[in-house]
Amino acid sequence: MHWADYTAQRLIERGGEQVSASGITPSGEFHIGHLREILSAEMIHRACLDAGIQSKYIFIVDSMDPLRRVYEFLSPEYKRYIGHPLAFIPAPGPDGKPGDGKQTYAEHFLAPFLKALSEIGVLPEVVMNHETYESGRFAEYIDLAISKREEIRGIVQDISGRELADDWFPYNPMGSDGSLDGVTVTGYENPFVLWVDSHGIEGKSDIRKAEGKMPWRIDWAARWAIHGITCEPAGKDHGAAGGSYDTGIPICRVLGGDPPDKIVYEWIQLKGMGPMSSSTGLTVGPMEALSLVPPEILRYVIARSKINRHIEFDTGSALFRTADEYERLVSSPAQEESGMTKRQLVAAQTQSGAIRMSQVESGSDPRESIGGVSFRHLSMLAQIKSSDEDVWSSLNRSGHIQGEPGKSLVVRLARMRTWIEGPHFPEDAKIEIKMALSDESRDNLDDESKQFLSALSTLLSECEWSDEGINESIANACESSGIPRRKGYSSIYWALIGRSHGPKASSLLFEMDRGGVLSLLRNA
């Protein structure tokens, strides 16, 4: 079965309501690599609901995490905010300088990401971690962690192999300037942690308020207990042996919680460029990806891959193949399972699950996501038709749609035009109808090809001008001239678009004026 359904079946054994979770630190712009964690958790949540299990999905924003450094997109003025929680510093303006404080740094980077999530059908319960601290829900776990400090220290050191400092403390208070850096704990009198900061100023932080936070490994374990999280996929950095997942599980038990089972996902890589990274600038943002790719296809990229296999995200030629695969599976009639081998049955059920998990709206008919028009065909029309109205007229004439296009098809065409006009569109997919035969085309058309084009032009002058009629004429011209079909199609492409391959030939010809086609073929 699909990996999300398999995980849901395992979660049934836990009993009770299931809580899938994912989290993110809003320190800068997000990339689609982050979507793997989020969609993995959301798809498991959907699989639970499909299996009749009570479930919810929460998205935890690490808004209490401090600003680590002055990133390239920030003004040097942000140096004074290093160490300050992202929820308590101002958002950057267009010039990278700190804004007026009406919007926080965390909110600034979170808002567009949540918009992107809604477009791919992810509507989680958003939890701002600083608000959980402010509400006092962390307080009992902070107190417990402090009282069991040596036990937790032992867990971290034994499992991770890291040596913790003698003054290590499971809570980082904020100093007099609002920074979490350079603050030394001097004592604890519940509910106050006493400290002295780097300026020599003494103070105390109330653990019932957002006046400090626990270190990452302890914070993660505590939130599992606070929110009753039963499922949280994590990247292989956290899931590596001795990583924060391995330490988090026993720490969560020390804090009285029931930790989730360990689920580790592989990263998404940009084709030929390795894993995406916000710090190196090697990214494709989710909004950028959604401006190119239909949301169902973006979901399918993640749904079709086993969770422990890396994904190579390619916004070029491979995108056509991915769309072809999706459309073929959506359009194929349901197979009769009774005659299948075990291997065929597993493949069919896995593919069915991937298509189900790819829909923006859970339970919707996957065929509606295609809108009757394939990705490749829409790509061709978007290139050879100057206006959207010409595209709709063509689709009506060819019978792909009847009347006005649906909303999803309008959005798909807009995305397609963005892709075509941007840097990611593959060179070998670009279509430009040639007004005259180039020298290269002429060199690639031998006598056999010319004889075929002559025969084809005669047949096309008399046939019904439809996809079927043109396709039949091409087949007959190949047969009458004795040319292999592959070479016949290549000859058509050389004559029309100046290269050896292109979109479906009959569809391309149908979209052109018959007189113009005949003129090009005869000249060739």
Burial (CB < 10 A; 0-12, 13-18, 19+), residue 433, is: middle
Domain check: are 117 and 221 in the same one? yes
Could you tell me if residue 399 is inside a domain?
Answer: yes
Q: Which two tokens stand for residue 489?
A: 């199609």
> Any bridge partners for residue 204, and if so which?
194
Could you tell me if residue 388 is inside a domain?
Answer: yes
Indicate the residue type of 271: K
Domain check: are 260 and 390 in the same one? no
Could you tell me if residue 283 is inside a domain?
Answer: no
Burial (CB < 10 A; 0-12, 13-18, 19+), residue 399, is: exposed
Q: Which residue has the tokens 């190579």?
A: 312
Could you tell me if residue 21 is inside a domain?
Answer: yes
- CATH code, domain with 133: 3.40.50.620
Cβ(251)–Cβ(148) below 8 Å: no
Q: For 181, how many CA atoms within 13 A lie in the half-sphere containing its CB? A: 12
- Domain range enclosing 98: 3-138+215-265
**Which of 265, 291, 326 lies at the terminal end of a domain, its last residue?**
265
Domain check: are 116 and 226 in the same one? yes
Fill in the DSSP letter of residue 165: P
Helices 139-147 & 149-160 angle (0-180, nearest 10)? 80
Q: What's the pLDDT at 274? A: 46
Domain check: are 421 and 446 in the same one? no
Domain check: are 410 and 452 in the same one? no
- CATH code, domain with 451: 1.10.10.350
Closest C-alpha to 380, from 352, 420, 411, 412? 420
Closest C-alpha to 460, from 395, 428, 394, 505? 505
Could you tell me if residue 276 is inside a domain?
Answer: no
**Which of 429, 462, 491 lies at the terminal end of a domain, its last residue?**
429
Distance of alpha carbon 419 from alpha carbon 291, whole angstroms: 7
Q: Which two tokens stand for residue 86?
A: 């992202």
Domain check: are 261 and 383 in the same one? no
Distance of alpha carbon 358 from alpha carbon 72, whole angstroms: 35
Distance of alpha carbon 47 from alpha carbon 64, whole angstroms: 31
Q: What's the pLDDT at 279? A: 44
Q: How many domains does the chain have?
A: 3
pTM here is 0.88
Burial (CB < 10 A; 0-12, 13-18, 19+), residue 245, is: buried
- Over the chain (524 residues), the average pLDDT of each successive run of 10 is 94 93 88 85 97 96 96 95 97 95 94 90 96 98 98 97 94 97 97 97 98 97 98 89 95 97 84 48 62 86 90 79 90 77 85 94 89 90 93 93 90 90 84 86 93 95 94 95 95 93 92 90 86
Domain check: are 410 and 476 in the same one? no
CA separation, residue 263 to residues 22, 59, 124, 178, 234 (Å): 12, 17, 19, 35, 6
Q: What's the pLDDT at 284? A: 62
Could you tell me if residue 67 is inside a domain?
Answer: yes
Could you tell me if residue 518 is inside a domain?
Answer: yes
- Give, in degrees to the nearest 5, the angle at Cα 349 between 347 and 351: 65
Domain check: are 467 and 494 in the same one? yes
Domain check: are 422 and 514 in the same one? no
Could you tell me if residue 352 is inside a domain?
Answer: no
Domain check: are 99 and 74 in the same one? yes
Domain check: are 259 and 387 in the same one? no
Domain check: are 421 and 451 in the same one? no
**Which of 234, 250, 265 lies at the terminal end of a domain, its last residue?**
265
Run of H or E residues at 313:
strand 311-313
Q: What's the pLDDT at 381? A: 95
Instruction: Provide the pairing of β-strand 311-313 with 268-270.
Output: parallel
